[in-house]
Amino acid sequence: MRTGLGRLVARLALAAGLGLSIAGVSLATPNPVYLNQGNAWTAAARADFYGRDQGSRIIRLAWLRALKTADGAPFLQDGLARYGYLPNPNGRFNLPIGFMAAGAAGNQYAAMNCSACHTRQIVVGGTEYRIDGGPAFTDFQAFLTDLDAAVGRVLADDASFAAFAAQVPGAGPDLRDEVAAWYRREHALVSRALPANNPWGLGRLDAVSMIFNRLTGMDLGPPPSYMIDDNIQPAIAPVRYPFLWNAPRQDLTQWPGFSTNGNDFFGLIRNLGEVYGVFGVYRPRRQADHVDFLTDNSAQWTGLGRLETLVRMIGPPQWPWRIDRALAARGREIFNRPNWQDGGCVSCHGIRPGPFRPTLIPPRLNPTWATPLCDTNTDTAEYAILNRTAQTGVLQGAHLPFLQPMGAQAKAFDLLAMSVIGSIVQNSTTLSPYLYVNSAMPLPPVAQQAVGSFALQGTRLCGQQAGPHKYESRVLQGIWAAAPYLHNGSVPTLADLLRRPEDRPASFRLGRNYDTALVGLARDQGASTYLRTTTGCDDLASGNSRCGHDFGTNLSDADKLALLEYLKTL
């Protein structure tokens, strides 16, 4: 027998007309309706966002164009739409949004940037809507797995390789060795890291694990492979892609809040770490008495700066459908209740000033928004990843002046911090701050600002929710466009998030169909085969727990409807 919000959800589902079905997730129109995301977000800015090179280097473009799928079709035949990537009207070589050709002609790589994972398309009543900066509905794990398999088939026998080589312009005598070297590295990552039994699925990835794995497992070892295979560990703590609008205004970022944020410099630190985790070439080396971070480093510094500027220009998407203004006004009163126990959201998700961050251009002090961190009894798997250790490889013995040298083993988190900070300081000053010898050399100001920018925050709370597994509580502008919810994407709609954890869906389909009443993923996803199965409150470390964040679950059905209506307006 249905009670409470169960009846409410059933009524909303019926009202939304969820019998509508579309073809599979891979079918996205190249001509969607673009939502209003502010006057600064122009067509020119959008095109730049979709195609700007940040320094990731996936595979040589000529190789990718010569690869075949398992059934013999060109790998790029559908523009990677089968993985959920969206067609780019300004793209070349049938590459989708967020993928581009990078490098000099004749030596180009297929590259990718942040828009590949942060551009969303939803469907309502048969019409598709584009949300720039929204969490993408893409299957990154399937893409990595299939790309690895395609190269593996090329190397399987002489006939397969000969057919492949015939399609690669200017193929030289070393082509097989070059392809085998690529496969040696990428296959180690795919086979060791990607979960077989519980794949990430649509719209999620274990970003922290993959950054740690690429950095410590593929960059710090000895040449020619640079591999330390034992540093590659299972990527089993998936999170959903966050939305990008307002991200540069947070004073802390990343789901656990470990990255200082709020100006271009800290934005560069955040984005460089992403490049190193997504196909960036990064091979630090010992150069006399210091670590050389840049000689073999593909980061595109100008591109990274421009992408951060573009992200600042993306406004939260405005709800394009009818709003019941009277109901929303009532929901605003509930949202602004100071006590979270009464259903109020403002204590964690309201706009409050954070610290000023210094900038190099006027205004010299950049205002931020405070980003509270809460332990609300949600899934804890990501925190186990943050505590992983790794062999330090080429970085063993390196240190900042006056600090202890890096040992043979260290936290992967600390190796990431050293790599990002060292690269940025060396790029800014031409001097590496990390030495293998004792020195009284003072740190340059840029290094002083960078040190400590990666740190797990121990004290900042919201809603009086202390605990060891804190995640960021962001301002909720545009939250209606960010389903599924919780950091691990385990709750399909905002209506479901207002239900008690035990009453939330144990499984649900993933796809682009959107429910304007439930505010999130529609129950019917047409031909989509993507199913997310979640776990209960007895397994908070599964990576898929739907539990926690039970605020507002005791509101009346009428109050929940009002709160949902207000959240549409943000």
Where does the pLDDT of residue 15 fall: very low under 50, low under 70, confident under 90, or very high at 90 and above?
A: very low
Q: Which domain holds residue 192?
A: 57-109+140-199
In a domain, 65, yes or no: yes
Q: Of the ranges 3-7, 167-171, 201-205, 363-367, which one carries the lowest mean pLDDT score?
A: 3-7
More confident residue, 63 or 170: 63
pLDDT digits (tens, 9 = 90+) for 192-220: 999 998 899 999 999 999 999 999 999 99
Average pLDDT over residues 8-13: 42
In a domain, 153, yes or no: yes
pLDDT digits (tens, 9 = 90+) for 94-136: 999 999 999 988 889 999 999 999 999 999 999 999 999 999 9
More confident residue, 328 or 402: 328
In a domain, 453, yes or no: no
Where does the pLDDT of residue 289 fall: very low under 50, low under 70, confident under 90, or very high at 90 and above?
A: very high
The pLDDT, as a whole number, for residue 465 is 59
d(CA 216, CA 38): 40
Average pLDDT over residues 67-89: 96
The burial class, CB within 10 Å (0-12 / 13-18 / 19+), for 94 is: middle
The pLDDT, as a whole number, for residue 170 is 87
Asked whether residue 297 carries a pLDDT value surpassing 90, the answer given is: yes
Asked whether residue 162 carries a pLDDT value surpassing 90, the answer given is: yes
Burial 314-345 (b: 16+ CB within 10 A, else e): bbbbbbeeeeeeebbebbbebbeeeebeebbb
From residue 374, give the alpha-carbon distance in Å to each of 314, 325, 464, 467, 474. Answer: 26, 31, 8, 8, 11
Average pLDDT over residues 130-144: 97
In a domain, 93, yes or no: yes
In a domain, 476, yes or no: no
Average pLDDT along the chain: 90
In a domain, 194, yes or no: yes
Cβ contact 14:567 at 8 Å: no
In a domain, 19, yes or no: no
Asked whether residue 364 carries a pLDDT value surpassing 80, the answer given is: no
In a domain, 195, yes or no: yes
Predicted model pTM: 0.91
Number of domains forming the structure of the chain: 1
Angle of helix 301-313 versus helix 264-277 axis, rounded to 10: 110
The pLDDT, as a whole number, for residue 24 is 44
Give the pair of three-digit tokens for residue 275: 């490049």
